[in-house]
Amino acid sequence: MEGMILVKDGDIASGCNELFKGFLTSGRIEALLISRETPNGKMAFPALISDPEKLGSNILSPILPVSEASEISRMTINKGSDKPIGVVIRPCQVRALTEIVKLNQANLENIVVISMDCPGTMDVNTFSNMPEGKVPTDIIMDHLLNGTDIDQYLRSSCRTCKDPVPVNADITIGLFGVDLGSGFLVQAHTESGERLLEGVKLEAYKGEREKALAEVRGGKDAKREAFISSKKEIKGIEAIADFYDKCVNCHNCMNACPICYCKECIFNSSVFDSDANKYVHRAKNKGIMKMPDGALLFHITRMNHMILSCVECGLCEQACPSNIPLMDLLIPVAENAQKELDYYPGKDPDEKLPMVVFREDEYRSVGEK
């Protein structure tokens, strides 16, 4: 099921808000998890909204302060929802959600996933410190209507987005390949999506969606490729150590990551606890030892644990207090590792995680001479 929803004066945000309001008032969903700008307009957070009058959402607001997938995990990890809940999340977060369901960290029972073509998001600080007269939503709208280059405002992971079009959502809000002056596209991909859209007045869609999507995806792919090849010089122990040397072991990147889910992370455990004698012994190895130690160990281990499921949302980079451009390394590492194990995170909900399956006849040369 698909069709256009017409809006007055090209006000896409209000049109979407009305659509979501209809979902809530129809009683087909009990609540909606959706990003909501705070009263001063300088920040936004996912909000779980049950009262249609309190909705006030702005789907174009370009900010992703926390992982929406993690919030769905928070709600459903122990028990699936008894009543239908709608969640409006970005494409990277749909991919993250698909991955954390595989990791048994979220339950999609009665969850209707609504996503949108994503023009990208800004860093929290860029968003809340806009120069006088600049409105983030207007910048995004200008980009969608006129194709203006907005890369200077976007987070690096959004500039090089792996896929700005949602896959595995129940409902997609289409913004690409659509005459946004007249309205936006709505597509239901599943039964639960169609049920939610019942009774919504849809006009016939006339446009070349596939062509537009291929163009947007092609543009992002090219930027991602150029990004990866521009980071080739971060190689070898000197470059890698320099890259991470601002790390203060705060583990914010790990906490912000939708994929890193362990409640008891080995880095917060007592596994590597030691006493003064042992520290001195270790210091004597090199004659000098950084305190606290283990920043590089942390980053390489984290990669080993999460990189195959990394959806490149870039929330780790946004959370870093030392402004380490973490994606500069994570994207090339993810690209190579996922290629090696032939896995695309977030694509196929039925495909098993690469680290839980194996084939007897694979990688023979790794275990033999």
Partner 1 sequence: MGEFEPKIVGFLCNWCSYTGADLAGTSRIQYPPNIRVIRVMCSSSVDPIYVVRALMEGADGVLIGGCHPGDCHYINGNYKARRRVVLLKNILKTMGLEEERVWIRWVSASEGQKFADTVTEMVDTIKKLGPNPIPTRWDI
User: Mask: binding to partner 1, 261-280, rule CB under 8 A, as x and -?
Assistant: -----x-----x--------
Q: What are phi and psi of 93, to 5 degrees?
A: -75, -30
Q: Would you count residue 288 as binding partner 1 (CB under 8 A)?
A: yes
Q: Shortest CA distance to 216 belongs to which of 165, 280, 260, 254?
A: 165
Q: Is 252 in the site for partner 1 (CB under 8 A)?
A: no
Stretch that binds partner 1, among 42-50, 201-209, 256-264, 354-362 (CB under 8 A): 354-362
Interacting span for partner 1 (CB under 8 A) from 78-86, 130-138, 196-204, 295-303 = 295-303
> Which window, 73-81, 123-131, 168-176, 328-336, contacts partner 1 (CB under 8 A)?
328-336
Does position 341 interact with partner 1 (CB under 8 A)? The reply is yes
Q: Is 344 an interacting residue with respect to partner 1 (CB under 8 A)?
A: no
Rounded CA gap, 121 and 153, in Å? Answer: 8
By the rule CB under 8 A, 355 interacts with partner 1: yes
Q: Which stretch binds partner 1 (CB under 8 A): 120-128, 201-209, 250-258, 283-291?
A: 283-291
Candidate residues 280, 340, 347, 352; the one interacting with partner 1 per rule CB under 8 A: 340
Three-class DSSP category at 202? coil
Assess 322 for contact with partner 1 (CB under 8 A).
no
Crossing angle between the packed helical segments 295-306 and 236-244, to the nearest 10 degrees: 100
Nearer to partner 1, 1 or 267 (CB): 267
Closest CA to 59 of 7, 126, 2: 7
When the beta carbons of 74 and 352 are compared against partner 1, the nearer one is 352
Contact criterion met (CB below 8 Å) for 313 and 157:
yes
Q: In the complex with partner 1, which residue's Cβ is closer, 270 or 285?
A: 285
**Interaction between residue 347 and partner 1 (CB under 8 A):** no
In the complex with partner 1, the residue whose CB is nearer, 47 or 331, is: 331
**295: burial class by Cβ within 10 Å (0-12, 13-18, 19+)?**
middle
Query: Which residue, among 341, 5, 337, has the nearest Cα to 171 in the 3D structure?
Result: 5
Structure tokens at 181: 């002056």
Contact criterion met (CB below 8 Å) for 162 and 312: yes
Q: How far is the CB of 294 from partner 1 (least distance, A)?
A: 8
Between 137 and 301, CB nearer to partner 1: 301
329 binds partner 1 (CB under 8 A): yes
Using CA atoms, how far apart are residues 292 and 264, in angstroms rounded to an integer?
20
Q: Does 300 bind partner 1 (CB under 8 A)?
A: yes
Instruction: List the one residue from 9, 149, 210, 238 that touches partner 1 (CB under 8 A).
Output: 238
Report the nearest approach of partner 1 to the CB of residue 280 (Å): 14
How many Å apart are CA 138 and CA 148, to the nearest integer?
11
The 3-state DSSP class for residue 282 equals: helix
| Three-state secondary structure of 141-180 | HHHHHHCCCCCCCECHHHHCCCCCCCCCCCEEEECCCCCC
- Choose which of 297, 321, 348, 349 interacts with partner 1 (CB under 8 A): 297
Instruction: State in angstroms the smallest separation of the CB of 235 from partner 1.
Output: 3
Burial 299-331 (b: 16+ CB within 10 A, else e): beebbebbbbbbbbbbbbbbbbeeebebbbbbb
Q: Sign of the CA dihedral 138, 141, 146, 147?
A: positive
Q: How far is the C-alpha of 154 from the C-alpha of 238, rounded, in Å?
A: 30
Q: How far is the CB of 157 from partner 1 (least distance, A)?
A: 17
> Could you say whether residue 118 binds partner 1 (CB under 8 A)?
no
Site residues (CB under 8 A) for partner 1?
234-241, 244-245, 266, 272, 282, 285-290, 293, 295-297, 300-301, 303-305, 307-308, 329, 332-333, 336-337, 340-341, 354-356, 358-360, 362-363, 366-369
